[in-house]
Structure 1
Amino acid sequence: MEASDIEAQKVDQLLNMKKIGDKYPVSVIILLTLKWLDSISFSGMYGLLVLYFISQFLYFSDHENYLQHMFRGSVVILAFIGATITDSWLGNFNAFIGCNLFLLLGHVFAMTEEILPENIARSRFLVTSGLLSVAFAAGIKMPCTLCLAGDQFPVHQVKEKNKAFSFLYMSTVFGNFFADISLPSFMEKSCFYKDCYLIYLSASAGIVTFNLVTFIFSKKLFFIEVPQESNLLKIFKCIWSAIKNQLRHCSWKTPRRNHWLDWASEKFSENHISEVKLFFGMLLFLSPFPLFWALVEKQEIEWILQAKKMNRFVAGRSVKNEDVQMIFSAILLINLILMELVFIPLAEWLGINFSLIKKTMIGMILIYFSSLISFLLELQIEKSPNILPGSRESFLRIINVADISFNVTFLKNNSSMSYSRVSRVFQNADDYHRIYLDSDQQYFQIKLHTNTLVKEEEILLEKRTTYAMILHGNRKFYSIILIKETTTKPETGVAYVRIINILNKDVYIILPVDTYNLPKYNGTSSELSIKISRNVNLLCMIEKKENVIKLGLLEFGASYLVFLTEDTPTLKTWKTRQNEIKSLCIGWQLPQILIMGIGKYLLIVSCMEFFYYKAPEGMKVTMQALWTSTLFSSSLILYFVNYISFLPEWIEDFLLSNILLAVVISFFVISYYYQETVLKLWRVPFS
């Protein structure tokens, strides 16, 4: 069958597909629904697998970072491999089914770990295998979904196709938002029961199974593009032919050619060489994005840090960390809905229409302005005074360094409940609770609940004081340590560190000026307060055995609590930071979040469309995978940025804004070069 006949048959199939309102194929509506469910399942599954390492296997925050980098690095590598196989042999439809199978396999690994008897080595192997399975699914599923959705429209339905890309992005954001709501509330109710993980994993696996079955049974509603021979292999052959031919004719007598790829003209057509040139142009177009997304991710982390320092007491209640993340997601979702339903139709009505590259540039500029606003806000935060407890108030946060999570109930006068919440093991406790006192001093009753234990203790709180309530112990004995936290900021250039010994052994800390003894835990706090700078390791002795206390990176002007948690076979520590509570309201973060949301929408959706339309024939999934991989590879860059970062936060924000501006300018230059290349190759206007 000739190429023209194949194209005509394709057009007939697309025109005869079942549609809603003669515009949107039913297959696209199915993809949007499945993408929403998939985002819920993936977000919950990934968060839960990391939570396994933190709570079940006693991995601490540094190990959590390593897990995330391992996961994201696996996504980048596996995405490229999977995309090449998809374009060459599998096709989008079959690859989508394979991704669901790998995602289901990740659930099976985690569920198997929960069902089998406890074995740390086997559990770590199963959960790591689950993360890798999820990584493979994450790396290739989004590119397959985008390309499969684009293939369902005829050539003339450009507007409808662009809408489909926008709605796919909105489905992802809405799914993540739903996961942000459901997972914390679910874990709050069930985390202290044995089967809480199994219940959530079963529900998530049910979603994946439903997606898989629905997709397979709706196959007749989809237009399925037949995969071609690997175009990537042809590109490599063309490059190798050009290099080999150029080396063979390296004499100065041989006439030069306009481009080094033109040396492959003896074996490849001019059209194919032009495609290879455009492929390199698209790779150059992609080059700024890993660093760009690393800076954006850094800024989003700064939002959370800013929120922790700002006034989060609203209507007498403190907005918790998980609530802050949920609020950010909700604002982003509302922003996207307004963009799609109000601003974009208004722009079309006014006749405003930009090319894809111009939309990408506008998105980058808006993201830069968001970072600039974040820097200005950080300056205001530094200037604003701290909030201190009132005349009949205390501030209190819960830190759990025991070997099990607790449901903590706070009672006043044995009857009036102040609050009740779950405290997880080694979770960074940044939320301060405002406790109201009836007098200058007052006793409160604390109840610690687990599935097998109820323990009651009493604590005394004083007015105008900030406390940290430490839950400590093991299955033999649990207790509460109450310590007063500092309310003064250390001098510029140093950090304030309090080392707390919760071991059943004496610890001798050796400093340049003296040796300090931290007695073993005997029901009261045993601590040492020092002021040090940057990244410092301390030498200590435990039962005549020399150990090193690794404090990690310490930020200037910050206060930390460092717990000595375990000494066999090596000394283990856990560090948590004490956050200041500034008077500036958290609502001032709204402008930068709104601008960032609009910028990311324009940038991501425009790039989705760009890499679908402009990718060389037979390489649509590969180019989409390269694009989506930049979102994950940014984390690897961010790791090194965080590792060498030791400046005050307002200076970091200033540098972040300037580096981001440099990246935006470099992208403008690359985009101009790319458009000139296209004009030169095809001699048609680029849009």
Structure 2
Amino acid sequence: MADKGEMRKPKQKSATVCGYPISIFFIVVNEFCERFSYYGMRAVLVLYFKYFLRWDDDFATTIYHTFVALCYLTPILGAIVADSWLGKFKTIVYLSIIYALGQVVMAIGAIHDITDANKDGVPDNMTLHVALSMLGLILIALGTGGIKPCVAAFGGDQFQDDQEKQRSTFFSIFYLSINAGSLLSTVITPILRAQECGIHSQQKCYPLAFGVPAALMVVALIVFIVGNGMYNKTAPQGNIMVKVCKCIGFAIKNRFRHRASNEPKRHHWMDWAEEKYDKLLIAQVKMVLKVLFLYIPLPMFWALFDQQGSRWTLQATTMNGDFGFLIIQPDQMQTVNPILILILVPVMDSVFYPLISKCKLNFTPLRRMTVGMFLAALAFVAAGLVQIQIDQTMPKFPSSTVGQVKFINMIDRPLPIKAGTNVFTLNAFTANEDYLNFDEQFELKLGSNVTNVINVVNGTRSTVVIIQDGPLPKSIKFPDINSKPEQGANAIRFFNGFGSVFNVTVGNQDFGDIVTNSMSAYVAVPQGDAEFRIKKDGQECVYSQTLGFGSSYTLIIPPTFTFGQNCKDSIRPVMDISPNTIHMAWQIPQYFLITAGEVVFSVTGLEFSYSQAPSNMKSVLQAGWLFTVAVGNIIVLIVAEAATLSDKWAEYILFASLLVAVCIIFSIMAYFYTYIDPTEIEAQFKTKVNEDDEDDKSQYGRQRLRWSRKTQLNVTMKPKRPKCEQSKKQIRYP
């Protein structure tokens, strides 16, 4: 049933301020809060998959793009429901409730204390977290996609026919609210994620990062409902997309039915729908299909564009985010896109395009879109070059066929060591510079008297600490991490060579009590100046160290350590993994290129679709445009799964190559495209219909005249009949 209020209530003039309906205030605020909710949640999503749910990069990317694809498939469903059944207002309200519920479920699923956690704070049973997260994402995809085609159109409905200027200004403000919500959320939610929270253990605060967007979605829903009494609501008129699909389906079925007949061929396959549908509708469908055919190559652009939130964010986790005046989190780099959009859109419209026009270059919309695709390909080439630089600075972690070992000398004298075929000497309280590779096991010779056999597990890293055990040296093996620390943090641990137990803390984190000749667990310490407090029996030693991004250190407490003013000087740091050295600023060129590509491609594409669409089918092309975004994200899934490339830079170059190939195909299709004026074509068909109607009326008039003369002749030549018979005779004729 359609909303009775929407069906009966005519479009009436609502209260205005400066010529604008007050109701649009509620719609703009609703859109700002909703976009904050969506982009804020999405900004931290891939890191949540990797670091909370413990999925690898490829699987995290797959689920991320599956979610984005669903968000751009559901607008078709929302448009059909709004236009054919509930109306825009009820559709927005009902789907916003589902949307807010999904955000709440996501926040609950991210609470690591709802299941038992191990000593590292990682939930032991991930099933509940995964189930809640997937349910939340499905609800969010249904909500955000379903309301996408409704909110802007509902805002346009608030204006009268004579308020074209105000309506145009509204859409500009509406677009600004979208970018403002996106920009603020991608700044704020990564900061919330970086906080430490928890009851039993302190972890990255994903519940807060998801909870704030959930709260904003609830605010968006409340604000929208508060304005209920001020809205102009239009009745559902039936969905044009359904009508178009039926027309196309009938044409295909009718053509298939007459495939073996001798009927003459028709000019266009859609002409087979003439038996059921009028020629104006068929002509409009032809115009739509002509544009949709051009849409076929477009998903490849979105396949690259939407990787800003997945692959590029993961790339940023291996980079240095220290900009001096502020520290940038990996997921905050996504803010570069909306900032550049706000800069480039007016620059393109007021500077770039007018300059090209003055140069008398025919920069058509389709040529602009081709340039946009090429810029996106260049962005991925730039990303590939950055990745090559990152890979050169990354440690060489062990493959599945070797194990790696590092040696630390905790004896207060130089010690000659022979490890397999490697011969070297370690000074007191130092380590060899890099890890050595071994296969399964090797013979370790310490000095001239002690020989041990060390077993190595392939694919792992270990540290062998050599201590003084009575008169002879002794080796102890400890496992090391064999990957970069998560989220740009620093993995720090202590080795206690001191003669008694002591406790170490940094900030609000505790390494625990460390006994003699033992290694503490790793503690994730953020970038910046860290103060480590070593405590024993009321005595304290403060050791400070400046940490970068993604490093790992073993801090040695030697046997010669004593509490006192200079205690910190005896602590020796051993760097196991070097910090990230490639700066995040190197990502700015790739963000600039892809944002410039988006402005040239996306904005132009929407304008082109609007100009080439029939007056009553612009929503059909809008749905088709959103569908290309969904297909683009599906392409990422296919390529990520099919192209099993070990090097990430190679995957970036693969995507760039695919887009260049598609760009060439699109440019050929654009070359043969003929621009049309839908209004003129529709006017021609309407004129023809009117002329046909006039012809029908003329033929009907001539037929009536012939019948009238014949009747008069019959009446004149035949004898008169009774009145009753004459009346019967007259009844037989129209």
Residue number in structure 2 paired with 1:593 = 591
Q: Distance in 1 between matches of 2:94 and 2:376?
A: 39
1:603 aligns with 2:601: yes
1:429 aligns with 2:486: yes
Which letter does structure 2 place at the counterpart of 1:662? A
Alignment of 1:310-325 (within 5 A): 314-315=323-324, 322=329, 324-325=330-331
Shift of 1:674: 5.4
Residue number in structure 2 paired with 1:137 = 143
Shift of 1:449: 7.6
Shift of 1:600: 1.4
Shift of 1:654: 4.4
1:30 aligns with 2:29: no
Residue number in structure 2 paired with 1:682 = 681
1:94 aligns with 2:100: no
Larger radius of gyration: 2
Q: Distance in 2 between matches of 1:60 and 1:376?
A: 24
Secondary structure of the structure 1 residue equivalent to 2:486? coil
In the alignment, is the contact (CA less than 8 A) between 2:613 and 2:678 conserved in 1?
no
In the alignment, is the contact (CA less than 8 A) between 1:445 and 1:459 conserved in 2?
no
Q: Distance in 2 between matches of 1:112 and 1:379?
A: 39
Residues 67-116 of structure 1 show CA distances to partners (whole Å, capped at 9, x for unaligned) of 32442354354333232222222222222112211112214434666699
Residues 106-155 of structure 1 show CA distances to partners (whole Å, capped at 9, x for unaligned) of 14434666699648655544433222111101212222223233444566
Q: Distance in 2 between matches of 1:165 and 1:193?
A: 45
Residue number in structure 2 paired with 1:224 = 233
Paired residue for 1:258, among 248, 267, 277? 267
In the alignment, is the contact (CA less than 8 A) between 1:361 and 1:603 conserved in 2?
no
* TM-score with structure 2 setting the length: 0.58
Residue number in structure 2 paired with 1:326 = 332
Residues 481-515 of structure 1 show CA distances to partners (whole Å, capped at 9, x for unaligned) of xxxxxxxxxxxxxxxxxxxxxxxxxxxxxxxxxxx
Residue number in structure 2 paired with 1:179 = 185
Paired residue for 1:337, among 333, 339, 342? 342
In the alignment, is the contact (CA less than 8 A) between 2:503 and 2:512 conserved in 1?
no
Secondary structure of the structure 2 residue equivalent to 1:228? coil
Shift of 1:19: 5.2
1:634 aligns with 2:617: no
RMSD, aligned α-carbons: 5.1
Which letter does structure 2 place at the counterpart of 1:175? G
Paired residue for 2:99, among 96, 100, 103? 103
Residue number in structure 2 paired with 1:80 = 76
Residue number in structure 2 paired with 1:567 = none
Residues 642-687 of structure 1 show CA distances to partners (whole Å, capped at 9, x for unaligned) of 23142755555544434323323333444455544667981899xx
In the alignment, is the contact (CA less than 8 A) between 1:165 and 1:608 conserved in 2?
no
In the alignment, is the contact (CA less than 8 A) between 2:100 and 2:218 conserved in 1?
yes
Residue number in structure 2 paired with 1:666 = 665
Q: Distance in 1 between matches of 2:516 and 2:357?
A: 65
Alignment of 1:122-133 (within 5 A): 124-133=130-139
Residues 371-422 of structure 1 show CA distances to partners (whole Å, capped at 9, x for unaligned) of 3265367558758996799xx9x999xxxxxxxxxxxxxxxxxxxxxxxxxx
Residues 168-219 of structure 1 show CA distances to partners (whole Å, capped at 9, x for unaligned) of 4443333233222222322333423469666665544432222222212223
Which letter does structure 1 place at the counterpart of 2:142? F
Q: Which has the higher contact order (CA 8 A, sep 6+)?
A: 1
Which letter does structure 2 place at the counterpart of 1:447? T
Shift of 1:30: 3.4
Residue number in structure 1 paired with 2:247 = 238
Secondary structure of the structure 1 residue equivalent to 2:645? coil
Residues 227-265 of structure 1 show CA distances to partners (whole Å, capped at 9, x for unaligned) of 212333332332333234334433463211101111121
Q: Distance in 2 between matches of 1:670 and 1:112?
A: 49
1:455 aligns with 2:512: yes
In the alignment, is the contact (CA less than 8 A) between 1:49 and 1:131 conserved in 2?
no
Residues 267-311 of structure 1 show CA distances to partners (whole Å, capped at 9, x for unaligned) of 211001112222322432332222221133357766556656666
Which letter does structure 1 place at the counterpart of 2:139? S
* TM-score with structure 1 setting the length: 0.61
Q: Distance in 2 between matches of 1:121 and 1:101?
A: 26
Q: Distance in 2 between matches of 1:663 and 1:157?
A: 42
Q: Distance in 2 between matches of 1:302 and 1:116?
A: 29
Which letter does structure 2 place at the counterpart of 1:597? T
1:237 and 1:684, CA in 2 relative to 1: closer, same or farther beyond 3 A?
closer
Shift of 1:54: 5.6
Which letter does structure 2 place at the counterpart of 1:43? Y
Structure 2: gaps spanning 5 or more residues: 1-8, 116-124, 396-429, 435-482, 493-501, 525-575, 685-734
Q: Distance in 2 between matches of 1:377 and 1:185?
A: 25
1:382 and 1:217, CA in 2 relative to 1: closer, same or farther beyond 3 A?
closer
Residue number in structure 1 paired with 2:67 = 71
Q: Distance in 2 between matches of 1:652 and 1:82?
A: 35
Residue number in structure 1 paired with 2:290 = 281
Shift of 1:627: 2.3
Structure 1: gaps spanning 5 or more residues: 1-8, 397-425, 436-443, 461-467, 473-576
In the alignment, is the contact (CA less than 8 A) between 2:270 and 2:286 conserved in 1?
yes
In the alignment, is the contact (CA less than 8 A) between 1:356 and 1:607 conserved in 2?
no
1:579 and 1:275, CA in 2 relative to 1: closer, same or farther beyond 3 A?
farther
Residue number in structure 1 paired with 2:153 = 147
Secondary structure of the structure 1 residue equivalent to 2:195? helix
Q: State the aligned residue count.
A: 519
Which letter does structure 2 place at the counterpart of 1:661? V
1:142 and 1:445, CA in 2 relative to 1: closer, same or farther beyond 3 A?
farther
Which letter does structure 1 place at the counterpart of 2:89? F
Q: Distance in 1 between matches of 2:280 and 2:224?
A: 37
1:638 and 1:662, CA in 2 relative to 1: closer, same or farther beyond 3 A?
same
Shift of 1:18: 5.0
Which letter does structure 1 place at the counterpart of 2:658? I
Residue number in structure 2 paired with 1:375 = 381
Residue number in structure 2 paired with 1:561 = none
Secondary structure of the structure 2 residue equivalent to 1:229? coil
In the alignment, is the contact (CA less than 8 A) between 2:43 and 2:309 conserved in 1?
no
Paired residue for 1:624, among 603, 622, 625? 622
Q: Distance in 2 between matches of 1:183 and 1:242?
A: 50
Shift of 1:60: 5.1
Q: Distance in 2 between matches of 1:356 and 1:193?
A: 64
Shift of 1:58: 5.1
1:445 and 1:145, CA in 2 relative to 1: closer, same or farther beyond 3 A?
farther
Secondary structure of the structure 2 residue equivalent to 1:138? helix
1:340 and 1:167, CA in 2 relative to 1: closer, same or farther beyond 3 A?
farther
Q: Distance in 2 between matches of 1:229 and 1:241?
A: 18
1:431 and 1:197, CA in 2 relative to 1: closer, same or farther beyond 3 A?
closer
Secondary structure of the structure 2 residue equivalent to 1:447? strand
Residue identity over aligned pairs, in percent, reads 25
Secondary structure of the structure 2 residue equivalent to 1:135? helix
Residue number in structure 2 paired with 1:40 = 36
Q: Distance in 2 between matches of 1:117 and 1:290?
A: 40
In the alignment, is the contact (CA less than 8 A) between 1:153 and 1:161 conserved in 2?
yes
Worse overlay, 346-355 or 643-652: 346-355
In the alignment, is the contact (CA less than 8 A) between 1:299 and 1:371 conserved in 2?
no
